[in-house]
Amino acid sequence: MSILFSCTLLVLLVPLYLYLKSSYRSKNPAALPTNWPILHMFPSTIANLHNLHNYFSLVLAGSGHNFRAHGPPGTGMRFFITCDPANIRHIFTTNYANFPKGVEFAAIFDIMDGSNTPLDGSIFTIDGEPARQQRTKVKCMLSSPQSVARMEACCRNKVENSLLPLFTHMASTTTVFDMQELMSRFMFDLAATPYFGVDPGLLSSDMLPLDALHPGNISMGMPPMDPAVALDIVMEVAFFRHTMPTYCWKLMRWLNIGSERKLGMAHGVLREFIVEMMEKRKIKTSRVANDEEQECMDMISYCLHGIGDTDDELRQAMIISFMLAARDTVGTTLSWIFYNLAQNPNIVSIIRNELSPIASRKVEAGADGMVMFEPNDTRSLIYLRAVLYETLRLYPPAPLERKTVVASDIMPSGHEVHTSDIILISLHSIGRMESVWGKDCLDYNPNRWLSDNGDNLKYVPSHKFLAFNSGPRMCLGKDIAIMQMKTVIASTLWNFDMQVMEGQSIQPKPSCILKMQNGLIVKLKKRHM
SS3 243: coil
Model confidence over 28-60: pLDDT tens digits?
A: 444 566 666 655 566 676 777 778 888 888 889
Question: H or E element: which one contains 78?
Answer: strand 78-82
Q: Please tell me the distance from the alpha carbon of residue 180 to that of residue 518, in angstroms, as a whole number.
A: 9
In sequence order, the 6+-apart residues with CB closer than 8 A to the CB of 127 are 100, 101, 102, 118
User: pLDDT at position 210, please?
Assistant: 42
Model confidence over 193-250: pLDDT tens digits?
A: 876 677 777 776 443 444 445 544 443 343 467 888 888 899 999 988 888 888 888 9
Residue 17, pLDDT > 50, answer: no
Residue 324, pLDDT > 90, answer: no
Mean pLDDT of 323-334: 87
SS3 4: helix
DSSP 463: T
**pTM for the full predicted model:** 0.86
User: pLDDT at position 439, please?
Assistant: 94
Give the torsion sign (CA, 376, 377, 381, 383).
negative
Residue 374, pLDDT > 50, answer: yes
Contact 298, 195 (CB under 8 A): yes
User: pLDDT at position 48, please?
Assistant: 73
- Measuring CA to CA, which residue among 210, 466, 424, 453 is closest to residue 329? 466
Please report which confidence band the pLDDT of residue 8 belongs to, taking 50, 70 and 90 as the band edges.
very low
65-104 burial code (b ≥16 CB/10 A, e <16): bbbbbbbbeebebbbbbbbbbebbbbbbeeebebbbbbeb
90-94, 97-101, 140-144: which has the minimum mean pLDDT? Answer: 140-144
Q: Please tell me the distance from the alpha carbon of residue 499 to that of residue 249, in angstroms, as a whole number.
A: 41
* Mean pLDDT over the full length of the chain: 81
User: pLDDT at position 113, please?
Assistant: 66
Query: 421 burial class (0-12, 13-18, 19+ CB within 10 angstroms)?
Result: buried
User: pLDDT at position 466, please?
Assistant: 93
Mean pLDDT of 361-374: 71
Tell me the Cα Rg of the chain.
23
- Measuring CA to CA, which residue among 183, 176, 168 is closest to residue 528? 168
Q: Please tell me the distance from the alpha carbon of residue 274 to that of residue 318, in angstroms, as a whole number.
A: 10
Residue 259, pLDDT > 70, answer: yes
SS3 404: strand
133-526 sits in which CATH class?
mainly alpha
Model confidence over 149-172: pLDDT tens digits?
A: 888 998 999 999 999 999 998 999
Question: H or E element: which one contains 180?
Answer: helix 179-196
Mean pLDDT of 284-312: 52
Residue 366, pLDDT > 60, answer: no
Domain boundaries, the chain: 133-526
Contact 370, 441 (CB under 8 A): no
User: pLDDT at position 347, please?
Assistant: 97
Residue 338, pLDDT > 90, answer: yes
Mean pLDDT of 462-491: 92
